[in-house]
Amino acid sequence: MNNKDKTISTDIKKEAVKAENRIRKYIRNTPLEYSPYLSQLGNCKVFLKLENIQITGSFKLRGAMNKLLSLLKKDKEKGVITASSGNHGAAFAYGLKKLGLKGTIYLPECTSKAKIKALSYYETDLKFFGTDCVKTEAFAKKTAEKNNLEFISPYNDPKIIGGQATIGIELTSQIKKIDSILAPIGGGGLISGIAGYLKSSDKNIKIIGCQPKNSPVMYESIKARKIIEMESKATLSDGTAGGIEKGAITFDICKKYVDDYIIVTENEIKEAIKLFLDKHQILIEGAAALSVASFIKVREKFENKNVVLIISGAKISLEKLKEILC
């Protein structure tokens, strides 16, 4: 690890420690559960970090709360803006309600009625723009800048990354040795936080990013050595689908700290959701199934290792679940 890499990991570690102190009373310390089935399947020890039972149903609450709590008083009073139809939106809305703040969530016009209804329970202002998540996010960010309001990015912010890094803090107290961690990647906030924090003290931990074949934007960007624009196809892992903001700080972090990538098909994601429900009686969303599907796909690589799978979230619609199970 060179000096520049050490600086980045040290910065993430500092952000993580600050985040831990800010958000601890607002979040759950999620369990690390041993998986007998997956352990036997891979002839290794597999542990499941169950962020699917985090408040609001995903890890996103950690980053959103850290960012909201770190805002200056004047910015809190003016209100804040974000863009997300999924887990970040729910975490943002919950945080606003919990802290008594006001804000707006921008959604793509094609957002499902189920997602709109879920967000409406938090009584947050919802507005619509565009038919693509990246365009919606860009519009929301521009709107925030025009009105001198704080934009809360789903991933491209040190405070967001620091919040997600608190997963790493919890892991260090839950397991003595980790050989490999498998985590889903969308914009890269989750894996950046975990990797940056843990590699600051143990550079030998292998960090493996998991993406769907229908939207492997970070993987293809890393290969191209620059953030690229590419069309994303429909995927069960809608929580990781879509593009990456130009200049996103997560790109460089992933380039330095993510050791490998595993790309899985829609059928592999589907089977992982079914397997998890069958063997663990736990419902997970498509993005969370990426780490499970990826482990199963290359399980021979982890023989005799201690492996942690990040189970990132629980939100899956009844309609989608019916399709998977039928």
Tokens matching residue 128: 């619509």
Same domain, 90 and 102: yes
Residues 6+ apart with CB under 8 A from 9: 1, 196, 197, 199, 200, 257
Same domain, 116 and 213: no
Same domain, 147 and 197: no
Choose one of 103, 130, 156: the last residue of a domain: 156
Q: What is the pLDDT of residue 29?
A: 98
Give me the mean pLDDT over the 200-219 stretch.
Answer: 96
Edge-first strand listing for the sheet containing 150-151: 125-128, 103-107, 80-83, 150-151
Give CA–CA dist 157/180, Å, rounded: 25
Q: Look up the pTM and report it.
A: 0.94
Poorest-confidence range of 10-19, 57-66, 163-172?
A: 10-19
Instruction: Answer yes or no: is pLDDT of 5 > 60.
Output: no
Same domain, 164 and 17: yes
- What burial class does residue 234 get, using C-beta atoms within 10 Å of its C-beta: 0-12 exposed, 13-18 middle, 19+ buried? exposed
Give CA–CA dist 228/47, Å, rounded: 33
Instruction: Answer yes or no: is pLDDT of 172 > 90.
Output: yes
Strand partners, 274: none
Instruction: Answer yes or no: is pLDDT of 66 > 60.
Output: yes
Q: Which domain holds residue 183?
A: 3-58+159-325
Q: What is the pLDDT of residue 9?
A: 55
Q: Which residues of 285-308 are buried (b: 16+ CB within 10 A; e: fewer)?
A: bbbbbbbbbbbbbebebbeebbbb
Backbone angles phi, psi at 274, to 5 degrees: -65, -45
Give CA–CA dist 205/180, Å, rounded: 6
Give me the mean pLDDT over the 262-273 stretch.
Answer: 98
Choose one of 103, 127, 156: the last residue of a domain: 156
- Residue 164: which CATH number? 3.40.50.1100
Same domain, 285 and 165: yes
Same domain, 143 and 237: no
Alpha helices by DSSP H, listed for 147-216, are 158-164, 166-174, 189-199
Same domain, 213 and 266: yes
Same domain, 125 and 189: no
Higher per-residue confidence, 224 vs 6: 224
Give me the mean pLDDT over the 257-275 stretch.
Answer: 98
Give me the mean pLDDT over the 167-195 stretch.
Answer: 97
Same domain, 9 and 130: no
Same domain, 319 and 254: yes
Same domain, 187 and 269: yes
Give CA–CA dist 243/66, Å, rounded: 24
Residue type, 265: T
**Tokens 């993406």 label which residue?**
211
Q: What is the pLDDT of residue 10?
A: 59
Instruction: Answer yes or no: is pLDDT of 1 > 70.
Output: no
Total domains, the chain: 2
Tokens matching residue 308: 């942690």
pLDDT band at 3 (very low <50, low <70, confident <90, very high): very low
Choose one of 135, 156, 177: the last residue of a domain: 156
What's the angle, vertex CA 249, arms to CA 246 and CA 255, rounded to 5?
100
Q: Using the Cα atoms of residue 54, residue 59, residue 61 and residue 62 in order, give the sign of their dihedral.
A: positive
Same domain, 174 and 304: yes
